[in-house]
Amino acid sequence: MMQLVHTLIRICLFQEGPQALPAAAGLLAALVALGWTASVLLLDQLVPEGMVAVEVTLATGFALLFTWLALSLRGGTARFVQTASALFGTDLVVLLPAAPLLLATADGDSPALQLALLILWLWSIAIKGHIFRHALNLPLAGGVLVAVVYTMLSLLVTGR
């Protein structure tokens, strides 16, 4: 377990790629379940009304579908489990510092907290770019472009 956390942190710090994770469907399922649960619990605190579980399920499905399609276009579907595991696992790592900041901003807009959240969001996109770069055999700029497209489409799909 500690090795997994260590590898995910190294991916977040751009020191490893998704290929450093095992190609284990059980690991992917666990990371998806943990990410879904953490997101629902956090968003339930932030969104007074709404269908949070449905929105998170939609976002999860979109992430899996986008990753599969991107890999399919590049002939790399064999990398799906590792790539998706890296995406969901690093999202959990970034969520750890983001959650308290999000909860703190729910009571009011603090410019410092907003800036910290913006930095975490941009870091999250950079991490996704790093993962897509490795998974799709692209230069860094190409991976970041895929991550930006992914992020924008995800925002359109979920409305958040």
Of 45, 71, 42, 77, whose CA–CA distance to 59 is shortest?
42
pLDDT band at 160 (very low <50, low <70, confident <90, very high): low
Cα separation, 89 vs 70, in Å, equals 19
| pLDDT tens-digit series, residues 10-29 | 999 999 999 999 999 999 99
d(C-alpha 153, C-alpha 157), whole Å: 6
Say what the pLDDT of residue 1 is. Answer: 85
Q: What is the pLDDT of residues 58-116, one digit of tens each?
A: 999 999 999 999 999 999 999 999 999 999 999 999 999 999 988 888 666 788 888 99
Residue 158 confidence (pLDDT): 82
Phi, psi of 52 (to 5 degrees): -60, -45
Q: Is the pLDDT of residue 121 over 80?
A: yes
Average pLDDT in the chain: 93
Above pLDDT 70, what percent of the chain? 98
Domain coverage including residue 33: 2-158
Looking at residue 105, what is its pLDDT? 82
Cβ 43 vs Cβ 56: under 8 Å: yes
Give me the number of domains the chain comprises: 1
pLDDT of residue 120: 95
34-40 LR contacts (CB < 8 Å, sep 24+): 34/88, 34/92, 35/60, 35/88, 35/91, 35/92, 35/95, 36/60, 38/92, 38/95, 38/99, 39/95
